[in-house]
Every structure is written in C-alpha cells, then in structure tokens.
Structure 1
Amino acid sequence: MKEVYIKYIQNQDLPSTQRGALKRLCSVEKYALLASLHTTKSQANQLSCPIISIPKQVYPAFTALAIRKNSSYLGIIDFL
C-alpha cells in the first residue's frame, strides 16, 4: 500500500478539504470525486459548474464513536 501511495498519490497536489475538491471538480477537465452526497449537495449552490452523481453507485460509509463505559454522553447517544 505504501508503494501505491508513493507512486500515485504522494506527489499529487490533492485538495485537503471537500470544498477544495469540489472547486477542483469544476476547474479540471476529466476529474472525478468520491464524496459524501449530503455534503456535496449542501455546497452545490456555491459551485461554478453543475455536478452530477452516478445513479445506483453507492460507497457505504460508517461512523464509529469510542466512549468510556460510564460516560455521561451515553444517554444522549442512545437516544439518537
């Protein structure tokens, strides 16, 4: 994996934020982006180009949260 990173990614000037990636999407021809649909839609009105999603192409994303056993936050998280 490190070799792939060094060969294909390390020397690239990749955007550090999703907003930067979306701006690049509008300025670079033949550019694709894998991003959160929710975040992308919320920023779409600030872009200088229309963006489209590829129908039925989903990349599942999961979120995990580590909390101490008797944390006061457990009640709130269990409520969600």
Structure 2
Amino acid sequence: MSVSKILAKTIDPDLEYEVIGIDLAKNCVSAVLLTTDGEVIGIDRLDYPELEKSAQELSPTIFAMEPCTEMNYLVQKLEA
C-alpha cells in the first residue's frame, strides 16, 4: 500500500477519515488526518472555531489528542 502525504489548510468534510490526531495549543491546533483511503493529510495551524465547524460537517470520526485541561472542553464540543 502506498501512502500519499498531503499538506492542507483545512479539513475537507467531503473525505472520510479513520482518525484525526490533533495537537492542542493556546490559540490553534495542528492536525494529522488519516483518510480511509490511506492518505495522510497534515495541517500546520487550524484555529478552534474552524476545527469545531469542520467537525460538525464530518461523519462520525475518531479524534485523538493528548490529555490536558483544554481537552475536556474540546471533547464536549466535538461530541456535540
């Protein structure tokens, strides 16, 4: 299986994702998205409102992130 790596500016809601890994920061997140087709998409900076908006448009997806204070708030937003 060949893996293609892509850099993007935002999450494409038209794609299906296996998992979205996010690294939380104060004002933005970095993300790595693994599609069901095996593509790896990297996003350097994505602000929180844009992440929440994109998550509303996605089919159910697994989000992985490190445990921290901000995580609890974000998990509630992403589950909604």
Q: TM-score if structure 2 supplies the norm length?
A: 0.30
Structure showing greater radius of gyration is 1
Structure 1 or 2: larger strand share?
Answer: 2
**TM-score when normalising by structure 1:** 0.30
